[in-house]
Amino acid sequence: MKRLAIVRQKYNPAGGAERIVSAIIRQLRGRDGIQPVLINRNWEALEGVEAVSVKPFYLGSVWRDWGFAGAARRAWRSLGADLVQSHERIPGSHVYRADDGVHAAWLAARVRQQGWRARVSIWFNPYHHYMLRAERRMYRHPDFRAVICISEMVKQDVIRHAGIPADRCEVIHNGVDSEHFRPDAARAGRDELRGQLGIPADAPVLVYVGSGFARKGAAQAIRAIVPHREARLVLVGGDKQLDRYRRQAQSLGVADRVYFQGTQRDVRAYYGIADGFILPSVYEPFGLVVTEAMACGLPVLTSTRCGAGELVGEDETGWLAEPDDDAAWQRNVARWLAARERWPTMGERARLRVLPLTEAAMVSRMLQLFERLLGAA
């Protein structure tokens, strides 16, 4: 029996990466030949899964991540793990699953968006220096064997910024639970929830799902509906600067058409009240919410810097735009509105596109990688 250590620091029920870790562990549970062990700082209990919690004392984000990295290494060595897959940038792990993409690519995206202000902020923030150093050390460590890239976009970022050869980059898209995220289940409470929010039954609704509004483009989503008086926008997710976005909606004259719903444990019902999904991310390594929305039968408007955007067929299942191109986002909302009679057909195509991306298929491909690496070892 081979022991596979899976490392992820903390659990956030609204986080896509955390839901993927849980899916991986569920799929691995009970399989012959490989025993998963979750190494974490804080995680909800998973029945029947061995877990090791390491909670070193810390003050500040740099010490937090540095301390967890050291504690996690000691834990997997103590366990005698045959293979270590980390979802954190920890030197010494064998496989890095790049749920969070490439930190250097994210910083480059920030600089493109904010210019010199971002450069100054990044330079004086020790956490970014730590993350870049940890990323470099992880990729250059003699124990490093492969990186799981959750999109082709991430693969190209890894090659460009980290200098990793393409044959060590394995593209494995995130799996989506298309049985849970299906149109009929999502829309079961459509009329009731629309009524609670005060949204007319025939109003065209875009839904945005994601916490961390700056990176995921909430401001762009709000700007995108400004010229389209019939369009409504429902924002699901939390942000420390939430009042700023409320003020933005007010100043743009769309406060009565933007609905802030906060973090929701189960977002399926919000896909159900919508007629389209919008995510204008500045940098999104994959965007599990994009595939969840597609599985629920929604046309998708997302950005060229969203990994899951490579699953979107232009004018077939949705539309793409550069993150900071205001005019393009407003045009795409216009195209979405003009395609109203085609929404059902586009939704069907979107669902068919993601049906092969099952959690089982994702884990099967990961197991093939693990077996190859274990065999080579």
pLDDT in tens, the chain (377 residues): 889 999 999 866 556 667 778 778 877 777 777 888 899 998 776 676 788 999 999 999 999 999 999 999 999 999 999 999 999 999 999 999 999 999 999 999 999 888 888 899 899 999 999 999 999 999 999 999 999 999 999 999 999 999 999 999 999 999 999 999 999 999 999 999 999 999 999 999 999 999 999 999 999 999 999 999 999 999 999 999 999 999 999 999 999 999 999 999 889 999 999 999 999 999 999 999 999 999 999 999 999 999 999 999 999 999 999 999 999 999 999 999 999 999 999 999 999 999 999 988 998 899 899 989 988 66
Q: Considering Cα of 45, then 46, then 52, then 57, what sign does the dihedral take?
A: negative
d(C-alpha 206, C-alpha 301), whole Å? 9
User: Which class in CATH covers the domain with range 2-175+358-376?
Assistant: alpha beta
pTM, full prediction: 0.91
> Would you call 124 exposed, middle or buried from its count of C-beta atoms within 10 A (0-12, 13-18, 19+)?
exposed
Tokens 């929604």, located at residue: 298
Residues comprising the chain, all counted? 377
The CATH number given to 183-354 is: 3.40.50.2000
Tokens representing residue 46 in the block? 């998973």
Given a contact cutoff of 8 angstroms between Cβ atoms, the answer to whether 236 and 209 are in contact is: yes
Domains 2-175+358-376 and 183-354 share a fold: yes
Helices (H) and strands (E) in the chain, counts: 16, 13
Q: Considering Cα of 99, then 34, then 84, then 369, what sign does the dihedral take?
A: negative
Domain range summary for the chain, segments of one domain joined by +: 2-175+358-376, 183-354
